Amino acid sequence: MGLNRQRRRYLERQEAARQAGRKVEPITPDPLRFWTRARIIFAITASVATILSALYAFWPSMDVIAQPWETSTDPANARFQFKNIGRVTIRDVQFDCLINSATSRNLNTSLNSSFAPITGLKSQVIGDLDPDRYVSRDCFGGARVATGGHPSNIKVTASFVWPILNRRAEISRYFVSETDGRRVWMTPEAEPKP
């Protein structure tokens, strides 16, 4: 077992003191030194764990999902679920759609809304969304619009405001139409590179 330089110098001084006839008292290491280090490491670990758990618990998040049971005949009327998958209420939720079909290119919808007596107001401005809640919306606020049918793709860009920080966050999802001859539904895909 090798000795480090400091320990070797200590032993040399002890030997020199013995040869000179002086009384040599060995220096014992401080037993509290280990516990002091252990407490510091524990405190740092506990602080980091507390911060990470707070971030996990209060990180706002949202997802956009295409409904697999959708029965639309035109992708413009396909409904999407906007779900708060975080643990805090997100504010001022809204979304935009960029639709491409055989007859329409780069059709951008934003802030569309319609009012029906039975279902009320349907809009691309959703408002506040509580945790584990979702709303279903289409790109035209519930109005029946034909944009060319299948094949088509839709890029949905949703945004919301973080609680407390007032910071707007944005997510986007890309969907491509599929059909079985009777109905058209949207499936999530990776967005193609431009």
- Domain membership flag for residue 18: no
Q: Tokens 């691309």 identify what position?
A: 124
Within-domain flag for 43: no
Q: Looking at the domain assignment, is residue 155 inside a domain? A: yes
Check: CB of residue 108 under 8 Å from CB of residue 97: yes
Instruction: Provide long-range contacts, Cβ within 8 A and 24+ apart, for 31-37.
Output: none
Q: Tell me, yes or no, whether 31 lies in a domain.
A: no
Report the half-sphere exposure of 45 (CA within 13 A, side-chain side): 6
Q: How many domains does the chain have?
A: 1
Per-residue pLDDT in tens (0 to 9) along the chain, 194 residues: 456 787 788 888 888 888 887 777 766 666 667 778 888 999 999 999 999 888 787 889 999 998 777 767 777 788 899 999 988 999 999 999 998 888 888 888 887 766 666 666 777 788 899 999 999 888 887 777 777 777 888 999 999 998 888 889 999 999 998 888 777 788 899 888 87
| Strand order across the beta sheet in which 62-66 lies | 62-66, 80-84, 134-137
**93 domain-assigned:** yes
Instruction: Give dist(CA 171, CA 122) in Å, integer.
Output: 21
- What is the per-residue pLDDT for 85? 93
Residue 157 included in any domain: yes
The predicted structure's pLDDT at residue 117: 62
Task: Tell me the residue range of the domain where 154 lies.
Answer: 62-189
